[in-house]
Amino acid sequence: MNHAGKVVCNSSRFKKTSSILHRLHIRKQKTANFFSTSTVMEKDFTHIIVGAGSAGCVLANRLTEDSSNNVLLVEAGPKDTIMNSMRLLWKIHMPAALTYNLCDDKYNWYYHTTPQKNVDNRVMYWPRGRVWGGSSSLNAMVYIRGHAFDYNRWQDEGAEGWDYDHCLPYFKKAQTHQLGADTYKGGDGPLNVSRGDTSGPLYQAWIEAGKQAGYPYTDDLNGFQQEGVGPMDMTVHKGRRWSAATAYLRPVLGRSNLQTEVQCFTTKIIFDGKKAVGIECMINGQRKEFRASNEVILSGGSINSPQLLMLSGIGNADDLNKLDIPVVENLPGVGENLQDHIEVYVQYKCKKPITLYSAQQLINMIPIGAEWLLKQTGMGATTHLHAGGFIRSKPGVSHPDIQYHFLPSQVIDHGRVDPEFHAFQAHAGTMRESSRGWLKLKSKNPKDHPIIEPNYLSTEEDIVDMRNCVKLTREIFQQKAFDELKGEELRPGAEVQSDSEIDAFVRKYCDSSYHPSCTCKMGAESDKMAVVNNEGQVYGLENLRVIDASIMPSVVSGNLNGPTIMIAEKIADRLRNREPLHMPNTPVYQPKSLSEQR
C-alpha cells in the first residue's frame, strides 16, 4: 500500500491485485442475497469455537482432551493445506515466503483503517489471517512473550490472576524450545520454538553495535532479561512455520469429539434470553445453525470478535440502535480501547554483498524454493529475523519501551515491493503507546468490514517517543561495529535531522506492527468499559466467552502470537475446572538504577 492508501503490487511476484479486487467485487454482489437463504439446523455440541487462529486452535486441542466434550471449531477461511489433501501450502509454510500472502485475500481479511489524521491522512493496511492458524499462519514468526511487568500491570488493571507468576507457567506449558527446558523455557509443549542463528556478520554487527551504544546483551529476550540486544526466537521448526494450526490443531484432527468447518462465515450468536446457545453462519451460500449446550467461545481476534458481538446485539446500545440491531446487552466497551504498535524502518545500504538482496532475485529464488520444497532447508527455511532487542527510551522507564527486529534486507511497503539494493534495516517501534482507538460496525451486514480507527499518534507523548525511537536507532547504527558495512542512509535519509523533519518522516512512513489488541478488554466488573471477566466470560451474559488478543487489558511489550496462545492455554484450564498453574517469585531482571537510561 502506498502512502495514499492505495494498493501497490508492481513486483512481478504480486500480480494478483486485479484478480483480488475482482473477487472482492463478486463478494459484494453476493451480499445482496446474503439474508435470503433458508436455515439448516445442525447437531448440538458442548462447545463451539469461532475462529481457528492462535487461540482457537489451542482451545480445540485442550477441550477435546476431555472425552466428555464435543467441540465444533469453525473458521471463515480455508485450511492451510491444498484442497482436501494434507499437502502444505508453501506460501504459508515456507518461512521465507511470509510476504506472499499480503496481496492475496484468500488467506487474509485484508483490512484497512480510516484515514489517519495524525499520519498525513494515510489509510493503513492491516493484514489479518483468515485461514487455519489465523494470523500465526501469516505473521513473521517472531516469538516474543512481552515483559513480566506487562502482566503485573494487567493484574493492576483489574485482571485478577493474570500477573506474571500466573502467566509464565502457561507460556512454558505451550512451548518446546530448541534449547531445552529451564525456569523460563518449556520442554514438552505443542509450540516448537527455535533460536535464530546470529553467526552472520550483519547479525553480529547489530549485537555488537548495541553493546557499543551502552545496552546490555541478553541471551534470551523471553527469559530472565528482556532488556538488551541479542538473538530472537522464532516459531519455526525443522524449516517450517510452526503455526497454531500445525502445533495444536492438525495433531488432534483424528479425535472423534472434534468437528471442524472451514469457509464457515459466522454471522450471529444465537441467544435464549441472556444465554448463548449457538451460532448462525453461512456455508456454501446456505444458512446454518449450530447449537452449544455449554459455551460459545469467540476466538476471532481483536477485529472479528468485537464485530461479531456487535452484530449479535452486544455493545454500545446507542450505536446498535442506530443500525436497528436489537440490543441483547449494553456493553459500551466492545470495540473500544483499541491498541496497536507502530514502527518505522531505519535502513542503510550495505557496502558488502552479504544481505538477502541476491537471494531475492528470481534466478536465485528458484533453487532456494526447490531446496525448501524437497528438504525444508536452506535460505527458505527461516524468516531471517534472527536478532533484535528491547531498550528503554529514557531514564525513569520501568522496562523496555522500544523493540527492534533486525533484518539483513530492505523491506518496502510490507514486502510487497521488491528490494532495491543490498541493504539492512532495523524495524524500530515503541511498545506502550498512549493513543487509544476504536472500531465500530459500518452496517448490520456481516460482510461489511468494520470501521477501524486506531487513532495513531494522537498524543504528544507518542510523537516524542517515536522521534526518540528514530534517534536512538540511528545512534546504534553509528557505532564502530557497522563502520565496514554501513553505506548511505536510505531511511530516514541524511537530509532528515531536525525534530520536525523526523516527525514528518514518522508520519509519512510509520506503519502497523500488526498487533491490534484490547477491543474486548478483561477487567473487574466495576470497570464499565470491561467486556469480560478474568476467565473471558462476557459480562451480563451466560455461556459466552471471548478468548483471544482482544481481551488483553493493555497491549504487551512485544509481538502478540505467544501471549495469545498463553491466554488460551490459561483459560482452557479454567474451562476444565483445573486449578491455575503458578510459579511464585520468579526472578526478573531489573536495571541497577532507573535514573539512567543505560
* Residue whose cell numbers read 476444565: 576
What is the pLDDT, as a whole number, of residue 6? 32
**DSSP string over 280-327:** EEEETTEEEEEEEEEEEEE-SHHHHHHHHHHHTTEE-HHHHHHTTPPP
Q: How confident is the model at residue 99 (pLDDT cuts 50, 70, 90)?
A: confident
The stretch 91-114 carries a mean pLDDT of 89
The stretch 476-505 carries a mean pLDDT of 98
Yes or no: say if 90 and 97 are a contact pair by the CB < 8 Å rule: yes
Q: How confident is the model at residue 178 (pLDDT cuts 50, 70, 90)?
A: very high
pLDDT tens profile 51-82? 999 999 999 999 999 999 999 999 999 999 86
Rounded to whole angstroms, the Cα distance separating 325 from 306 reads: 14
Q: How confident is the model at residue 43 (pLDDT cuts 50, 70, 90)?
A: low
What is the pLDDT, as a whole number, of residue 39? 66
**Any idea what the Cα angle at residue 148 is, between residues 227 and 153, rounded to 5°?**
120
In 15-119, where do the E strands start and end?
A: 39-50, 71-74, 111-116
pLDDT tens profile 570-592? 999 999 999 999 999 999 999 99
pLDDT tens profile 352-391? 999 999 999 989 999 999 999 999 999 999 999 999 999 9
Buried b (16+ CB within 10 A) or exposed e, 124-160: bbbbbbbbbbbbbbbbbbbbbbbbbbbbbbbbebbbe
pLDDT tens profile 148-157? 999 999 999 9
Rounded to whole angstroms, the Cα distance separating 591 from 164 reads: 18
Q: Bridge-partner residues for 282, per DSSP?
A: 265, 287
% residues pLDDT > 90 (the chain): 87
Quick check: helix, strand or coil at residue 237?
strand
What is the pLDDT, as a whole number, of residue 51? 98
Q: Which helix (H) or strand (E) holds 457?
A: none
The stretch 160-179 carries a mean pLDDT of 98
**DSSP string over 18-62:** HHHHHHHHHHHHHGGGGGG--EEEEEEEEEEEE--SHHHHHHHHH
What is the pLDDT, as a whole number, of residue 238? 96
Buried b (16+ CB within 10 A) or exposed e, 274-297: eebbbbbbbeeeebbebbbebbbb
- Count other Cβ atoms within 10 Å, centred on residue 480: 10
Residue 193 has pLDDT above 80, yes or no: yes
pLDDT tens profile 300-310? 999 999 999 99
- Is the backbone of residue 574 left (phi > 0), alpha (psi -120 to 50) or beta? alpha
pLDDT tens profile 518-542? 999 999 999 999 999 999 999 999 9
- Count other Cβ atoms within 10 Å, centred on residue 483: 11
Q: How confident is the model at residue 2 (pLDDT cuts 50, 70, 90)?
A: very low
Residue whose C-alpha is closest to residue 474's, from 451, 490, 452: 490
Residue 26 has pLDDT above 50, yes or no: no
In CATH, the architecture of 34-138+244-335+517-575 is: 3-Layer(bba) Sandwich (3.50)
In CATH, the architecture of 191-218+340-512 is: 2-Layer Sandwich (3.30)
What is the pLDDT, as a whole number, of residue 416? 74
Nine-digit cell at 422? 543490498
% residues pLDDT > 70 (the chain): 92
Residue 30 has pLDDT above 50, yes or no: no
- CA 59 to each of CA 25, 71, 360, 498, 555: distance values in angstroms, whole numbers, following the listed order: 35, 9, 38, 50, 22
Rg, Å, the chain Cα set: 23
Higher pLDDT, 245 or 417: 245
Q: How confident is the model at residue 85 (pLDDT cuts 50, 70, 90)?
A: low
Directed axis angle between helix 164-174 and helix 561-575, to 10°?
Answer: 100
Task: Indicate which residues carry an active-site annotation.
Answer: 515
What is the pLDDT, as a whole number, of residue 512? 96
What is the pLDDT, as a whole number, of residue 71? 98
Q: Which segment of 15-24, 40-49, 157-166, 273-282 scores lowest on mean pLDDT?
A: 15-24
* Residue whose cell numbers read 534517534: 471
Q: Per-domain residue ranges for the chain?
A: 34-138+244-335+517-575, 191-218+340-512
DSSP-derived letter for residue 417 is B
Residue 1 has pLDDT above 60, yes or no: no
User: Is the fold of 34-138+244-335+517-575 the same as that of 191-218+340-512?
Assistant: no
Helices and strands, counts by H and E, the chain: 13, 26
Residue whose C-alpha is closest to residue 142's, from 378, 403, 402, 405: 405
Q: Which segment of 136-140, 275-279, 413-417, 481-485 scores lowest on mean pLDDT?
A: 413-417
DSSP-derived letter for residue 129 is B
- Count other Cβ atoms within 10 Å, centred on residue 342: 23
